[in-house]
Amino acid sequence: KQEVTQIPAALSVPEGENLVLNCSFTDSAIYNLQWFRQDPGKGLTSLLLIQSSQREQTSGRLNASLDKSSGRSTLYIAASQPGDSATYLCAVARGGGATNKLIFGTGTLLAVQP
């Protein structure tokens, strides 16, 4: 059974700092891995999707990496801003016939202090 873990559960950093959020998963047979952000009272917004054949994806100040063999992904946020404060969730899409089923981690609550 696939399990997804995110560390740390919460993180507080001063504005401008570079930071790394971690995600680990137990079954390397994944279809893709996705990072989302969730603002209070809102749904999830997709940030980056890494296909199983890819090693990383970048969007603006965000960079996500994937190492299937070790069951790890990291989300790197450069030059953090108060607007980056949110909960960040990673999710893995299972392989085989269940490529659309996402298994979510419990999230990292990020606070960027001005």
For the bound state, the minimum distance from the C-beta of residue 94 to other proteins, rounded and expressed in Å, comes to 10
- Contact residues for other proteins, defined by CB under 8 A: 31-32, 34, 36, 41-46, 49, 51, 89, 91, 98-107
- Is the Cβ of residue 41 or residue 83 nearer to other proteins in the bound state? 41
* CB-nearer residue toward other proteins: 14 or 60: 60
**Closest separation between CB of residue 44 and other proteins, Å?**
4
Contact predicate 24/71, CB 8 Å: yes
Q: Provide the minimum distance between the beta carbon of 5 and other proteins in the complex, in angstroms, as a whole number.
A: 11
CB of 100 to other proteins, least distance (A): 6
18 or 58: CB nearest other proteins:
58
- Output the DSSP codes for the chain: ---EEEE-SEEEEETT--EEEEEEES---EEEEEEEEE-TTS-EEEEEEEETT-SEEEETTEEEEEETTTTEEEEEE-S--GGG-EEEEEEEEESGGGTT-EEE---EEEEEE-
